[in-house]
């Protein structure tokens, strides 16, 4: 006989169940709150110390660091040794993770801390050899400059040592799983060389035109050249004969943003309300968190200078002192040449030159890879420079591309920066420019004596043959450089009758200038708008200068919209109902890229789609990144077609009328997909918004920590003076003037500035994203060099010698 035993669970009384549930939820909530508080305390520990006293080993005397209401450090020291050591320490407090990433990126050392994802990028920068160039440059510096570099490094290392010992390194190092190594003078110089890379020299355009010559007819290839080269058919034929797979060789190369540039201008006191010159400068580079620029004020001995510098480099590169102010834009000259090298099939490190085989130099560049074995990698350097066409593959074809570039030679730009900082007049500033070789920059200058001046300064090569539009034979001496444009013949203007000088990466010389600068200038619209405003009246105020830096009038639209409207008018039978609504909006547009309007959204997508209609079927995406000057070329193809002389790309796409309509309807479709079917509700700023992305925000959910503010709608565009470039797919504004500055030389104790998104790289700092709103609305803060103005209401930190 068996017995079945049934066990029945008693149901808990409802009140008791609710009580247990509430207790459980309470425990979970408490644990969550404890976790959040613990995380907050952990992150907060690494906040920079900005008040009290900190002892630094190696410091000679006590000094003061006042951080004003915008987080700008005002460093007051008695000696230059202590000043630069303090600058290194303070900059590291705010930007250590950025500094470390910058030197790793430029040195090709990211894979050591990130892993396999960045190996190709590291190979590319190892191939270029920015760090090798920095090492070669070190010995070109004076003993004084070497001291400055070391003092700055000592300050950075004092911060690193203290932060490691106290467990207060920035939280990014914890997430990335590593600690920063000691800082060296070479690190600072390598970052300087990276800026020369970022401001470029057009090698990618040469590579793209090489690709065109090998893959298209002569007519189609030349149609996309920025200008018709001398002996065009001969050039094309020569390139066709030298076969090289450009997609395989260079598709994964790191290409600087082609919109990197700037605006600057100086206005004579004859045209200003103060009676003294005005100077305005807003360099255009990538927009991110933290900003590429770090604002500082350095005061010691006879130096009293304020402005910005790249985090990781000593001194002030753009700014003002008690006597002068200066700013820069990129000249963008042709300082890079690609040489087609013929390799010896029996010895892959030999290359032909003037009928003989020459042995190249082989440099071992082992790449450490996180979680993997160290990767053996070698760089081959010919007489013209490193072979750059093989970093992405291991085979050794008979044809290779080597790069000759001014920045790979030793140079001493920091010497110039040190002299800028203490110059008192144009003659002293101009003498300082003799040390500034790369990247070539358009310097504008103003001084309290009333002088305004301009100079395109840097090493710009003179070629025996060729115009740098395409790669040239490296197996002969016909295409060698034969020196540089003589220093005293570089473009220079002092106190012009017009009463102002402006540059915006535009063509800066006339047809009668005897030397070649470049084939590729920026689109002219920013410069034309600046000149339009500066010639509009006899006298200007500082407020006029601030408004002009944020000006959003679109002269490109003013040129092309009448052409587009004319071509749409002839095709009304192909319009859809929504096209008619959009047409009416575009017809009545005032050509201002306002964030609140629909017309800028349609226009910029329209221009983008015209290029897509013309090129996307024939030019692979991998090559589009090398298509230097695409925007300028699209402009020119439209102009020619409108004048009745369409080129082959426009003809093959069906002619201007068809291209305009197709691109218009694509732009309308994209706009409606994003923002609905009511065009009057569309807004440029809903698509075109600035997030100021942190480098770790790409890793979810870290974006919630580092990008805790929503992207802010932004007006302007790539072609307006108020520059705001964007990602063509997402609309995210990722390029523009992170630093805007205006100075009235009547009172050099202050300047009007903004640094987007803020001074600090620490997510819990009050200066992390505090300037985002000002940056997106054209507002500024005042930075003073008068102690009575900045000491009040500032955080004060005493740095003292460590016993």
pLDDT one-digit tens code per residue, 723-735: 999 999 999 999 9
| Side-chain half-sphere exposure of 638, counting CA atoms within 13 A | 26
- Work out the burial of residue 95: count CB atoms within 10 Å of its CB; fewer than 13 is exposed, 13-18 middle, 19 or more buried: buried
Question: Contact at 8 Å (CB) between 471 and 338?
Answer: yes
Asked if 523 and 632 touch (Cβ cutoff 8 Å), the reply is yes
Strand partners, 733: 726
pLDDT at 10 over 60: no
pLDDT reported for residue 7: 43
pLDDT (tens digit, 9 = 90+) per residue, 384-394? 999 999 998 88
Q: What is the DSSP letter of 318?
A: E
Residue 161 has pLDDT above 70, yes or no: yes
3-state SS assignment for residue 306: strand
Q: Calculate the CA 285 to chain-centre distance.
A: 3
When the pLDDT of each residue in the chain is averaged and rounded to a whole number, the result is 94
pLDDT tens, 428-459?
A: 999 999 999 999 999 999 999 999 999 999 99
Give 426's pLDDT tier (boundaries 50, 70, 90).
Answer: very high
Residue for token digits 């993997």? 372
Beta bridge partners of 263: 282
pLDDT reading at 544 higher than 90: yes
pLDDT computed for residue 43 by the predictor: 81
C-alpha distance from residue 387 to each of 4, 338, 341, 684 (Å): 85, 9, 9, 44
* pLDDT at 5 > cutoff 80: no
DSSP string computed for 658-687: HHHHHHHHHHHHHHHHHH-S-GGG--HHHH
Structure tokens at 172: 């990014």
How many Cβ atoms are within 10 Å of 241's Cβ, its own excluded? 10
* Cα–Cα nearest to 46, from 186, 160, 208: 160
Q: What angle do CA 552, 553, 557 make, to 5 degrees?
A: 120
pLDDT digits (tens, 9 = 90+) for 47-56: 999 999 999 9
From the number of C-beta atoms within 10 Å of its C-beta (0-12, 13-18, 19+), residue 147 rates as: middle
With a cut of 80, say whether residue 303 has pLDDT above it.
yes
* Rounded Cα–Cα distance for residues 11 and 9 (Å): 6
* Residue 718 C-alpha from the chain's centroid: 13
Residue count (the chain): 803
Spatial separation of the C-alpha atoms in residues 142 and 486, rounded to whole Å: 23
pLDDT tens digits, 76-86? 999 999 999 99
Instruction: Encode pLDDT of 12-53 as tens digits.
Output: 566 666 666 767 666 676 665 665 666 677 788 889 999 999
Give the dihedral of Cα atoms 630, 633, 637, 642; nearest 10 deg: 110
496-512 pLDDT, tens digit each:
999 999 999 999 999 99
Mean pLDDT of 361-372: 97
Distance, CA of 660 to CA of 643 (rounded, Å): 15
Spatial separation of the C-alpha atoms in residues 579 and 667, rounded to whole Å: 10
pLDDT for position 787: 97
Q: How confident is the model at residue 8 (pLDDT cuts 50, 70, 90)?
A: very low
> Residue 4: pLDDT above 70?
no
In order of start, what are the domains of the chain with their CATH numbers? 29-551+744-803 (3.60.20.10), 555-591+598-682 (1.10.1400.10)
Q: What is the pLDDT of residues 126-139, one digit of tens each?
A: 999 999 999 999 99
Mean pLDDT of 601-618: 97
Q: Assign 762 a pLDDT band (cuts: 50, 70, 90).
A: very high
Averaged pLDDT for residues 713-724: 98
pLDDT of residue 78: 97
Q: Is the dihedral of CA 245, 251, 254, 257 positive or negative?
A: positive
Q: Evaluate if residue 3 carries a pLDDT over 50.
A: no
pLDDT tens digits, residue range 557-586? 999 999 999 999 999 999 999 999 999 999
Instruction: Quote the pLDDT of residue 15.
Output: 66
* CA-based torsion, 723, 728, 729, 734: positive or negative: negative
Q: Does residue 399 contact residue 341 with C-beta atoms inside 8 Å?
A: yes
């Amino acid at each position: 006989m068996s017995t079945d035993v049934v066990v029945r669970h008693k149901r808990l009384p409802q009140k008791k169940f609710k009580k247990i549930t509430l207790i459980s939820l309470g425990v979970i909530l408490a644990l969550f709150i404890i976790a959040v508080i613990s995380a907050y305390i952990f992150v907060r520990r690494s906040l920079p110390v900005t008040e009290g006293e900190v002892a630094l080993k190696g410091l000679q005397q006590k000094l003061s660091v006042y951080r004003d209401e915008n987080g700008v450090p005002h460093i007051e020291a008695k000696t230059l040794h202590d000043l630069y050591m303090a600058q290194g320490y303070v900059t590291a407090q705010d930007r250590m993770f950025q500094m470390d990433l910058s030197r790793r990126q430029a040195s090709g050392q990211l894979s050591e801390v990130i892993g396999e994802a960045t190996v190709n990028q590291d190979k590319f920068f190892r191939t270029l050899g920015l760090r090798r160039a920095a090492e070669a440059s070190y010995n070109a510096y004076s003993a004084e400059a070497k001291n400055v570099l070391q003092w700055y490094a000592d300050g950075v290392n004092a911060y690193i040592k203290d932060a490691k010992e106290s467990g207060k390194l920035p939280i990014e190092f914890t997430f990335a799983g590593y600690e920063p190594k000691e800082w060296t003078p070479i690190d600072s110089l390598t970052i300087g060389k990276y800026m020369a890379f970022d401001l470029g020299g057009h090698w990618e355009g040469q590579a793209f035109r090489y690709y065109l010559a090998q893959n298209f007819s002569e007519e189609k290839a030349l149609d996309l050249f920025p200008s018709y080269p001398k002996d065009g058919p001969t050039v094309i034929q020569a390139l066709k004969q030298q076969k090289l797979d450009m997609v395989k060789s260079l598709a994964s190369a790191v290409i600087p943003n082609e919109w990197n540039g700037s605006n600057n201008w100086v206005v004579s006191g004859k045209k200003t309300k103060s009676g003294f010159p005005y100077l305005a400068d807003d360099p255009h580079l990538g927009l991110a968190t933290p900003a590429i620029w770090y604002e500082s004020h350095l005061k010691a001995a006879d130096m009293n200078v304020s402005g910005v510098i790249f985090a990781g480099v000593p001194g002030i590169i753009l700014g003002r002192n008690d006597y002068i102010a200066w700013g820069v834009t990129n000249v963008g000259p042709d300082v890079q040449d690609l040489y087609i090298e013929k390799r010896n099939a029996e010895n892959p490190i030999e290359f032909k030159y003037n009928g003989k085989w020459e042995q190249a130099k082989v440099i071992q560049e082992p790449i450490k890879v996180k979680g993997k074995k160290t990767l053996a990698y070698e760089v081959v350097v010919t007489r013209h420079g490193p072979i750059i066409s093989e970093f992405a593959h291991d085979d050794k074809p008979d044809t290779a591309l080597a790069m000759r570039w001014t920045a790979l030679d030793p140079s001493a730009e920091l010497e110039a920066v040190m002299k800028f900082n203490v110059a008192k007049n144009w003659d002293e500033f101009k003498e300082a420019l003799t040390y500034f070789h790369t990247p070539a920059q358009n310097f504008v200058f103003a001084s309290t004596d009333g002088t305004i001046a301009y100079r395109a300064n840097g090493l710009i090569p003179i070629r025996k043959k060729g115009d740098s539009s395409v790669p040239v034979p490296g197996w002969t001496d016909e295409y060698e450089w034969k020196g540089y444009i003589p220093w005293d013949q570089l473009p220079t203007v002092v106190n012009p009758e017009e009463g102002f000088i402006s540059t915006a990466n535009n063509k800066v010389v006339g047809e009668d200038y005897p030397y070649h600068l470049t084939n590729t200038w920026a689109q002219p619209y920013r410069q034309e708008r600046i000149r339009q405003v500066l010639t509009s009246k006899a006298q200007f105020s500082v407020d006029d200068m601030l408004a002009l830096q944020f000006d959003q009038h679109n002269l490109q639209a003013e040129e092309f919209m009448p052409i587009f409207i004319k071509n749409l008018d002839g095709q009304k039978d192909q319009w859809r109902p929504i096209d008619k609504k959009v047409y009416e909006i575009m017809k009545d547009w005032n050509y201002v890229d306002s964030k609140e309007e629909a017309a800028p959204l349609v226009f910029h997508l329209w221009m983008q789609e015209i290029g897509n209609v013309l090129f996307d079927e024939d030019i692979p995406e991998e090559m589009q990144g090398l298509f230097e000057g695409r925007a300028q070329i699209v402009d020119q193809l439209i102009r020619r077609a409108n004048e009745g002389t369409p080129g082959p790309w426009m003809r093959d796409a069906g002619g201007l009328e068809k291209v305009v309509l197709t691109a218009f309807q694509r732009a309308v479709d994209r706009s409606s997909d994003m923002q609905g079917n009511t065009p009057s509700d569309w807004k440029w700023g809903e698509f075109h918004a600035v997030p100021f992305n942190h480098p770790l925000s790409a890793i979810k959910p870290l974006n919630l920590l580092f990008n805790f503010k929503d992207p802010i709608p932004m007006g302007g565009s790539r072609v307006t003076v108020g520059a705001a470039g964007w990602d063509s797919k997402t609309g995210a504004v990722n390029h523009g003037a992170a630093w805007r500055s205006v100075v009235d030389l009547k009172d050099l104790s202050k300047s009007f500035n903004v640094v987007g998104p803020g001074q600090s790289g620490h997510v819990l700092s009050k200066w992390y994203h505090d300037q985002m709103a000002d940056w997106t609305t054209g507002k500024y803060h005042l930075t003073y060099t008068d102690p009575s103005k900045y000491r009040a209401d500032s955080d004060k930190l005493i740095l003292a010698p460590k016993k």
